[in-house]
Amino acid sequence: MRKLLLFLTAALALVVTGVSQPASLATKSVKITASAFSPANVTINTGDTVTWTNADTKSHQVIANNGSFASTTLAANKKYSHVFNTAGTFNYHDALHPSLKGKIVVKGSPPAVTIGAAQPILTFGQATHVGGAVSSKQAGQTVTVWAQPYGQVSAVLVATLLTGANGAWDLPVQPTTLTSYQARWKSSVSATIQVAMRPAMRFSANRRVGFIRLSADRSLAGRKVYVQRLTRFGEWVKIRRIILGSGSKKRFFLHLKKGNYFLRVVISTNEAGAGYQEAFSNTVHIRKK
């Protein structure tokens, strides 16, 4: 048990710093461009590393569809590496530009018990499912699920389940911060996955006044957020800094000139705090005559 808890703690810390596992046997490189991952499909062996480099001027974020790996937001020329210690097919996408998709095929023996998340990134207040299957494909097998929220020193048992048809198991979860999950079946231990979290943001505005409210598992009073405007070139630029007040909310004047505006509010990873990712509000359209 002690080894399991130490493994989970190390895996979570490495995800936050942007490197998922220690150095491995071989490294394959993938460039992130404005329109694609290049190459989009990569085949490697168990224990190899894939390194993504942002070759675009805009930010990108690499995330596995099942939550098995996730980068932070990558600015231009920034890199993210992940070591694939589990065989299988890993589909992934760009969390900031979802049309960009890729696939990593890892050769080797499949794990005895698998795990994945239906949604790898949640907004505070949302729920998802983690699930998988045992290699025997038998129903009635006992699977235990362990969770370690960010900041906790050890994982805790959150569910003991029986597999259903084809050895599948499923568990609804509602984490409130970045959380690692792992499954155990007999003497086998699954890979570790993470479900990331963003603060919930609600933004409303008219021609004169804006209002923003954030929700998280802690107060965000005193944190900075930025009002952004979408330019005619399709880029978001900051036009106003806002300091959140009590209740993690703020009403503020916009001081807009005549024109057509598409506005949103953003909070950075640093301002959102440990266990949270960068978050964007809904977009508001304002036409000021």
> Could you list the residue range(s) of the whole structural domain that residue 211 is in?
199-288
Place of tokens 């597999």: 163
- CATH classification of the domain holding 160: 2.60.40.420
Same-domain check for residues 167 and 147: yes
- CATH classification of the domain holding 277: 2.60.40.10
Q: What is the 3-state secondary structure (H, E, C) of the chain?
A: CHHHHHHHHHHHHHHHHCECCCCCCCEEEEEECCCCEECCEEEEECCCEEEEEECCCCCECEEECCCCCECCCECCCCEEEEECCCCEEEEEEECCCCCCEEEEEEECCCCCECCEECCCEEECCCCEEEEEEECCCCCCCEEEEEEEECCCCCCEEEEEEECCHHHEEEEEECCCCCEEEEEEECCEECCCEEEEEECEEEEEECCCEEEEEEECCCCCCCCEEEEEEECCCCCEEEEEEEECEHHHEEEEECCCCCEEEEEEEEECHHHHCCCCCCEECCCEEEEEC
pLDDT value of residue 60: 95
pLDDT digits (tens, 9 = 90+) for 94-113: 999 999 999 999 998 888 99
pLDDT value of residue 12: 38
Q: How far is CA 11 from the centre of its chain?
A: 15
Is-contact 9 156, C-beta < 8 A?
A: no
Domain final residue pick, 197, 217, 233: 197
Spans of the chain, pLDDT less than 50? 1-24
Same-domain check for residues 190 and 246: no
pLDDT value of residue 28: 96
Same-domain check for residues 16 and 142: yes
Pick the closest to residue 21 from 53, 49, 2, 44 (CA basis).
Answer: 49
Domain final residue pick, 178, 197, 216: 197
Same-domain check for residues 180 and 229: no
Number of domains in the chain: 2
Is-contact 263 229, C-beta < 8 A?
A: yes
Label residues 272-281 b or e (16+ Cβ within 10 Å = b): bbebbbbbeb
Same-domain check for residues 80 and 42: yes
Distance CA 51, CA 146 (A): 28
Pick the closest to residue 224 from 204, 188, 257, 199 (CA basis).
Answer: 199
Distance CA 171, CA 128 (A): 9
Same-domain check for residues 179 and 217: no
Same-domain check for residues 225 and 132: no
Is-contact 257 288, C-beta < 8 A?
A: yes
pLDDT value of residue 110: 82
Same-domain check for residues 256 and 147: no
pLDDT value of residue 18: 42
Domain final residue pick, 159, 174, 197: 197
Same-domain check for residues 169 and 246: no
Tokens of 123: 């907004």
Burial environment of residue 176 by CB neighbours within 10 A (0 to 12, 13 to 18, 19 or more): middle
Same-domain check for residues 172 and 218: no
Same-domain check for residues 80 and 139: yes
Same-domain check for residues 145 and 53: yes
